[in-house]
Structure 1
Amino acid sequence: MLRAGCQRLSLLLHSLYEFWTSAAGGTPLEWVAVITGFACVWLAARESLWNFPTAIVSCGLYIFVYYGQQLYADCLLQGFFIAMGLYGWYEWQYGGARHSALVVSRTRPWEWLVVVVGVVLFTSGFGYYLKHYTNDSLPYWDSFTTAGSLAAQYLLTRKRLENWLLWVLVDLVYVPILWHKHLYPSSGLYAVYLVLAVYGYVEWRRAARAAIATTSPAA
Structure 2
Amino acid sequence: MVILRFFLSNTLNKKNMLETTWHTLLEQAQSLHVSEIWAVILTSVYVWLAARGQAWCWVFGNIGCAFWAYASFNLYDLWVDALLQVFYIVMGFWGLYRWLYGGQQADELPVTTLPFGQHLRLGLAGLVLTLLFGYFFDEYTPAAATYLDSFTTVFAVIATWLVVQKKLESWLYWIVVDALYVFIYARQGALLFALLLFVWTVFAVFGYFRWREAWKQRKPV
Q: Compute the TM-score of the two structures, normalised by the length of structure 1.
A: 0.79
Q: Distance in 2 between matches of 1:109 and 1:127?
A: 26
1:57 aligns with 2:60: no
CA contact (8 A) 2:98 2:165 kept: yes
- 2:41 pairs with 1:35: yes
* 1:7 aligned partner: none
Mapped to 1, the partners of 2:37 and 2:189 lie a distance apart of 13
Q: C-alpha displacement at 1:154, in angstroms?
A: 0.7
The question of whether the paired residues in 2 share the 8 Å contact of 1:73 and 1:143 is answered with no
Partner of 1:14: none
Q: Which runs of 5+ in 2 are unaligned?
A: 1-23
8 Å CA contact 2:171, 2:208 repeated in 1: yes
Q: 1:165-204 counterparts in 2 under 5 A?
A: 165-204=172-211
What is the alpha-carbon distance in structure 1 between the residues aligned to residue 131 and residue 67 of structure 2? 27
Q: Contact 2:69–2:85 (CA<8 Å) still a contact in 1? A: yes
Number of positions where the alignment pairs a residue of Structure 1 with one of Structure 2? 195
The 2-side partners of 1:113 and 1:23 are apart by 39
Q: Is the 8 A contact 2:25 2:191 kept in 1?
A: no
* Residue type at the aligned position of 1:63: A
Q: Is the aligned partner of 1:88 residue 2:101?
A: no
> How much does 1:137 deviate?
2.6
CA distance in 2: counterparts of 1:140 and 1:38, whole angstroms: 26
User: What amino acid sits opposite 1:147 in the alignment?
Assistant: V
What is the letter of the counterpart of residue 58 of structure 2? F
* Mapping of residues 130-169 of structure 1, within 5 Å: 130-169=137-176
CA RMSD after TM alignment: 2.5
CA distance in 2 between counterparts of 1:132 and 1:20 reads 33
1:22 and 2:63 are equivalent in the alignment: no
Give the distance between the partners of 2:76 and 2:180, measured in 1 at CA.
17
Give 1:108 shift: 2.2
**Worse-matched range after superposition: 111-120 or 147-156:** 111-120
Q: CA deviation at 1:207?
A: 0.4
The more displaced of 191-200 and 120-129 is 120-129
Give the Å deviation of 1:20.
9.0
Distance 2:147 2:59 in 1: 30
Q: Confirm or deny: 8 A CA contact 2:159 2:170 kept in the other structure.
A: yes
TM-score, L = length of structure 2: 0.78
Which segment drifts farther, 171-180 or 160-169?
171-180
Letter in 2 for 1:94: Y
Conserved 8 A contact 2:25-2:192: no
- Please give the alpha-carbon distance, in whole angstroms, between the structure 2 residues aligned to 1:107 and 1:26: 42
Displacement after TM superposition at 1:73 (Å)? 5.1
Show the 5 A alignment for 1:63-82.
63-66=69-72, 74-82=81-89
Supply the AA of the counterpart residue of 1:92.
Answer: W
The alpha-carbon deviation at position 21 of structure 1 amounts to: 5.9
Sequence identity percentage: 34
- Structure 1 gaps, min length 5: 1-18, 215-219
| Cα shift at 1:69 | 5.6
> Structure 1, residues 12-35: CA drift from partner, whole Å, max 9, x if none?
xxxxxxx99626354132222111
